[in-house]
């Protein structure tokens, strides 16, 4: 039985029937998108395959993804920089674990549709699972991005593990002023799993990379189905689920927009920085000795003392509610600020804005020198503080930087 991407088929195997739309597959399995939104991978061996409906347009053709067929030299030039992660990983059948083992070239081979969207080149900057990310890797990646842009890239795609993608994306948003799109993309499930999201995420990322959105952003599944990807601002995005394909959410902000799949059409909802509206610039680096602390009821202020004695240069605290800690923590916050070590207050609530002027404890924290983190995500505040401490060693200047909106990390007004 011959069929193609987009056809509706029924597979009868082992007395079970599976019906759905044929999806891209990187293994010998046939991958079906079923009506319940889930993908299933079925070996064609000893299976009865029935064609139910031909697709109106050949989805394996480039123009089905919203791209006109064109010669390679007329397509935008996009660089794929691989850092590792699930999108560049596969199952190691010796251990049963997922390992980072694919290069950027593997991504191009397994998703040939990308070559019809842009003139692509790719290289591995490093090849790690994202839990092994370090601040010096952020700096190395920023330099690699800048080099690709200097060499004529019209857009950048960064393949990255999802667990710490929000940290790296925020780091590049602060460090790189870009005239072209810089798009982070990952996948929750590796390429050799039937429910992998790598193909759709990569294709949508490529569409954004050749768009007019010249910002650092994260492009990932926008729903449980394979119907769209969301375009999140780098400083406003957070991974909110351990395993769902639509794990990423924009916090205290709408996404910039969405990419329809498979058409590739982009719909934007926010104002964004336009292509070529600013010059390429690398700004600063990152101070690794900063800590992100979570206040909990009864937690000892000695936690702060530990980091001060260990030579840390900055502290971000996830307080409760509007950004509170117990009164016992206030003297230790004052000790830190008296040592010219900035303390930034954010909220465990994630949504909303901190405000230290409502309750006595908040006012005491402000008197002790704490800096309000506005509506920044705790992770974004940490990355920004790391960056600010390398931009200036003057405590007043650092406080001013932390209070300024540098890369869309602070909204002037809180969203309801």
**Residues acting as catalytic residues:** 86, 162-163, 239
Helix boundaries (H) for 118-217: 135-150, 165-175, 198-209
Kind of pairing between the strands at 281-282 and 119-124: unpaired
Q: What is the DSSP string of 56-76?
A: SS-TTSGGGGT-----GGGSP
Name the region of 276 (left: φ>0; alpha: ψ -120 to 50; beta: rest): left
Q: Give CA torsion, residues 371, 377, 383, 385, to 10 deg.
A: 0
Distance CA 93, CA 70 (A): 40
SS3 content of the chain, % helix, strand, coil (to 5): 30, 25, 45
Give CA separation, 246 vs 189, 280, 311, in Å. 11, 32, 39
Block residue for tokens 């117990």: 326
Neighbours of 28 (CB within 10 A): 9
């Amino acid at each position: 039985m011959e069929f193609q991407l987009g056809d509706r088929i029924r597979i009868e195997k082992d007395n079970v029937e599976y019906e759905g739309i044929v999806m891209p597959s990187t293994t010998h399995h046939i991958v079906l998108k079923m009506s319940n939104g889930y993908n299933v991978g079925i070996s064609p061996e000893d299976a009865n395959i029935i064609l139910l409906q031909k697709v109106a347009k050949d989805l394996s053709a480039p123009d089905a993804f919203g791209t006109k067929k064109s010669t390679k030299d007329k397509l935008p030039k996009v660089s794929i920089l691989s850092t590792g992660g699930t999108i560049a990983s596969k199952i190691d059948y010796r251990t049963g674990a997922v390992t980072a083992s694919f290069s950027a070239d593997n991504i191009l081979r397994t998703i040939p549709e990308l070559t019809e969207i842009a003139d692509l080149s790719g290289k591995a900057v490093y090849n790690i699972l994202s839990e092994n990310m370090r601040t010096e890797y952020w700096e190395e990646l920023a330099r690699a991005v800048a080099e690709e842009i200097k060499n004529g890239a019209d857009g950048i795609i960064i393949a990255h593990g999802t667990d710490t993608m929000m940290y790296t994306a925020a780091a590049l948003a602060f460090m790189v002023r870009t005239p072209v799109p810089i798009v982070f993309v990952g996948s929750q499930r590796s390429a050799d799993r039937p429910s992998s999201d790598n193909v759709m995420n990569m294709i949508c990322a490529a569409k954004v990379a050749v768009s007019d959105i010249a910002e650092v952003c994260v492009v990932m599944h926008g729903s449980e189905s394979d119907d769209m990807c969301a375009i999140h601002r780098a400083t406003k995005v957070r991974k909110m689920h351990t395993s769902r394909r639509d794990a990423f959410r924009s916090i205290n902000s709408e996404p910039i927009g969405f990419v329809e799949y498979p058409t590739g059409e982009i719909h934007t909802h926010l104002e964004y920085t336009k292509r070529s509206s600013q010059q390429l610039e690398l700004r600063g680096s990152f101070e690794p000795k900063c800590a992100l602390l979570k206040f909990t009821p009864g937690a000892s202020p000695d936690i702060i003392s530990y980091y001060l004695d260990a030579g840390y240069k900055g502290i971000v605290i996830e307080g409760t509610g509007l950004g509170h800690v117990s009164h016992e923590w206030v003297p230790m916050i004052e000790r830190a600020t008296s040592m010219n070590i900035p303390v930034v207050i954010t909220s465990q609530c994630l949504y909303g804005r901190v405000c230290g002027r409502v309750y006595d404890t908040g006012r005491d924290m402000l008197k002790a020198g704490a800096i309000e983190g506005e509506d920044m995500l705790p992770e974004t505040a940490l990355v920004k503080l790391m960056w600010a401490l390398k931009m200036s060693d003057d405590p007043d200047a650092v406080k001013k930087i932390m209070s300024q909106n540098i890369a869309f990390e602070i909204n002037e007004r809180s969203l309801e």
